[in-house]
Amino acid sequence: MIDSKYVSLENINSLLISRFNLVTDPWERGDGKTYFWGNIVWHPTKTTRVLRIILRSGNLPPRIKRLISSDANNSVFMREPLSLESISYEAASEIELFFLSRATAAT
């Protein structure tokens, strides 16, 4: 159970799916949930992964990893404390980076 002063996992999930049209992999297992743009593609060279919610033990809020901003050596997480406004802003930025990286790769 996440402390009530934090944004709930349900609210984060609802925001990412309804406002940003991100999708999740229903077969994904583990300590989090990955959000994709459009089709679910896991392959590193063609991935559509944008964000990943990582659940933490205890009464700690989830962390959100920015998958486009991260690379093999560095992980980039959204700044805490999370709010729906900050998640919206950073999710929009990450989606913009996703499209910029695709456009760059296509040229």
CB 66 within 8 A of CB 55: no
**Amino acid identity, position 98:** F
Encoding tokens for residue 86?
């900050």
Question: Angle at which helices 9-18 and 84-106 pack, to 10 degrees?
Answer: 40
Encoding tokens for residue 50?
């944008």
Question: pLDDT tens for residues 22-65?
Answer: 999 999 988 889 999 999 999 988 899 999 999 888 777 889 99
Question: pLDDT tens for residues 69-82?
Answer: 998 889 999 998 89
The per-residue pLDDT for 2 is 41
pTM comes to 0.86
